[in-house]
Amino acid sequence: MTTGIMHISHARLPRWAPVLAGAVALALAGLPALLAGWGPLKWVAAAMVVFLVAMPAWSRVVEGRRAAVDRLVTGLIWTAFAIAVSPLVWLLYVVVRSGAPAINTEFLSISMLNVIGDEQGGIYHALLGTLLITVAAAIISVPIGTLTAVYLVEYGKTSRTARIITFLVDVMTGIPSIVAGLFALALLVLLFGPAFRAGIGGSIALSLLMIPTVVRSSEEMMRLVPDDLREASYALGVPKWRTVTRVVLPTSLAGIVTGVVLAVSRVIGETAPLLVVAGATDGVNTNLFDGRMTTLPVFIFSQYASSTPVGYQRAWGGALVLIALVMVLNLIARIVGRMFAPAQGQ
Amino acid sequence: VTTTASPERTESVTTPRPSRRGDRAFATVVRVAALTILVALVAVFVFLAAEGWKGLTSDSATYAPFTSFAGYIAPLIVSTLLASAIALVVSVPFAIAVALFISHYAPRRLGAALGYVIDLLAAVPSVVFGLWGGRYLAGYLQPAHVLWLHDHLGFVPIFGEPSPNGRSLFTAAIVLAIMILPIMTAISREVFLQTPRLHEEAALALGATRWEMIRYAVFPHARSGMVAGTMLGLGRALGETMAVAMVLATTPTTTLDVIGTASPPTIAANIALNYKEATPERQSLLIATGLVLFVVTFLVNVAARWVAGRSARRLAR
């Protein structure tokens, strides 16, 4: 013991300590894993538990209680993240593995009309229905959404009305989708009688879900437009409405498009409202204003509900197409956002 | 200066005049659009009430196997609350841990990318979650967890006779927990990132470990954001339909057992499962239950937004 030296910092474990502990944990858990024939998942889970015990214990001996608690929490947080991501990985893997065998050109190009038993069926009618209903929903919600955003940014600003509307838009994001569907159903039933079903009802329900997202993203983008641009326009004698339509909107266009595409990707997978108000049918229906109309999510649900092997197969195929659609839309949104992002100061 | 002032003034009076009308028209259009949102929300309430009203006081045969509206909706409410509560209990610790991981633990460059991975969870359509929950997760949870819960916690009334295929309210609640994780993470992450830098550095300078810094500097600052995120998650869980409808094999009984085969569905799932056989009276009844759901989720969301204030609003999608 060297008494002459004052220790002003206490002992620390070396930087590679967690790596060593991890390796030891894997090895320790590997022994019972080999003996009992566990799969890799159980092995890693066991190793995690060993690590979460061993690492703080080692730290407790060398570094003291407070550092040991810190190590434990760090381990727990990494573990929690790994566990939280695992359902996503598992789900995507399952969808691709189970869905891929179902996909062929016929699956994409024929409907379920007169398909009996195990015959080859398709999702053509559902794709068409999804396209029509979603486009109609976008046509309803994009003007309302962007103009509301214009009101909030350029006109209402911090007025009482603007604050109330901002608050309501926030609350609207939390409306359960099934309630939106029931609203559209109640509307159609009141207007056209209790048995009426039509694709447009689905569009009304979806636009109720889309509007808040569109308002939010457009508002955000318009607030990013520098005031210099507006003032330059005013200084040239351009009236306010021309300034908004010719300067503010074009400058924030990319961001608005991104927001709209993201909103579409969100509602394209909605099932419950369409199930209630647009119903399901086996054939192609291109008339939004009359008759039942199948969409892709509803197709997946009804095939799943049939509880037959071929039904499950079709459901997985539909799920793969749907997930691919959503991911492609997300990707487009990001690309548009990135390509046209620095639109300021042209 | 004074000589040029007069022509300028006359010009400024004459030129904008034709465009004023355009300004006024545009301002009106924009105001109408904004008011549409208000009108839409009121319309949701009014139309649901107008159609659902009949469902509150039909003749007792409509409510079979129950005899009144209260009797019909009570088990649905119990199921909805149970499923949401289980989902929250499972999801909240993960949401906070994942948000902390992204804001304070992950390497800085990775943080944003990992946040995007969690957002991808929100992009997966609910019907796909339902499909996965019913076909894979239920089978996985049956032996490992449902049986275990029955064996070890069977004395708690909610863990009764286990379902043979794992398709129970408990499994549905786990799917709900996964589905509400992204929104809760997004809100918590944002408030964690807003912690004043100086507070964090002061804590570290006083010798706090990273965990102590988070406990004494980050959490007190983020408390209201965490509460708001949890409430938004609750709102989502209450209204989520397809995952529950697809995972649960339902029967209209009253039971507290969440791991058995015979649980009543949640309000939302009940609507989705019964819309087909709907006679006009039944349809009104379903709309009436929808009205109850709307009012409850509306209040939960209003409370959440009120707690969150404006700062967190950008992030809640």
* Cβ–Cβ < 8 Å for A273, A178: yes
* Cβ–Cβ < 8 Å for A310, A98: no
Average pLDDT, chain B: 83
Place of tokens 């709102």: B235
Smallest Cα–Cα separation from B232: which of B194, B186, B189, B269?
B186
Residue B50 has pLDDT above 70, yes or no: yes
* Chain A, chain B: beta-carbon pairs less than 8 Å apart: 267
Place of tokens 């548009």: A336
**HSE (CB half, 13 Å, CA atoms) of B316?**
34
Residue of A nearest to B283 (CA): A194
Chain centroid offset of residue A163 CA: 27
Residue A216 has pLDDT above 70, yes or no: yes
Rounded Cα gap, residues B176 and B126, in angstroms:
10
Residue A183 has pLDDT above 50, yes or no: yes
Place of tokens 């979603």: A134
Give per-residue pLDDT as tens, B237-254. 999 999 898 988 655 555
Per DSSP, the three-state class of B232 is: helix
Across A316-334, average pLDDT? 92
* Cβ–Cβ < 8 Å for A222, A248: yes
Place of tokens 């029509």: A132
Residue B18 has pLDDT above 80, yes or no: no
Query: Out of A147, A179, A323, whose CB is closest to B33?
Result: A147
A155: contact with B, CB 8 A cutoff? yes
Task: Give A-chain residues touching B130 at CB under 8 angstroms.
Answer: 271, 301, 304
> How many other C-beta atoms lie within 10 A of the C-beta of residue A315?
28
Core vs surface per residue A229-257: b (16+ CB within 10 A) or e = bbeebeeeebbbbbbbeebbbebbebbbb
Q: What pLDDT sits at residue B138?
A: 87
- A189 vs B301: CB contact, 8 Å cut-off? no
Give per-residue pLDDT as tens, A44-87. 888 888 899 889 999 888 888 899 999 999 999 999 999 998 99
- A88 vs B117: CB contact, 8 Å cut-off? yes
Question: pTM, whole model, 2 decimals?
Answer: 0.87
Smallest Cα–Cα separation from A88: which of B19, B304, B274, B116?
B116
- Phi and psi, residue A123, nearest 5°: -115, 15
Smallest Cα–Cα separation from A295: which of A110, A129, A112?
A129
Core vs surface per residue B268-287: b (16+ CB within 10 A) or e = bbbbbbbbeebebbbbbbbb
Place of tokens 């109850």: B292
Residue B45 has pLDDT above 90, yes or no: yes
A255-269, B267-281, B294-308: segment of lowest average pLDDT: B267-281
Give per-residue pLDDT as tens, B151-192. 777 777 777 777 777 788 888 999 999 999 998 998 898 889
Q: Which residue type does B294 have? A: F
Residue A26 has pLDDT above 90, yes or no: no
Rounded Cα gap, residues B265 and B75, in angstroms:
8
Q: What pLDDT sits at residue A5?
A: 58
A299: contact with B, CB 8 A cutoff? no
A8-12, A117-121, A203-207, B194-198: segment of lowest average pLDDT: A8-12
Across B40-53, average pLDDT? 91
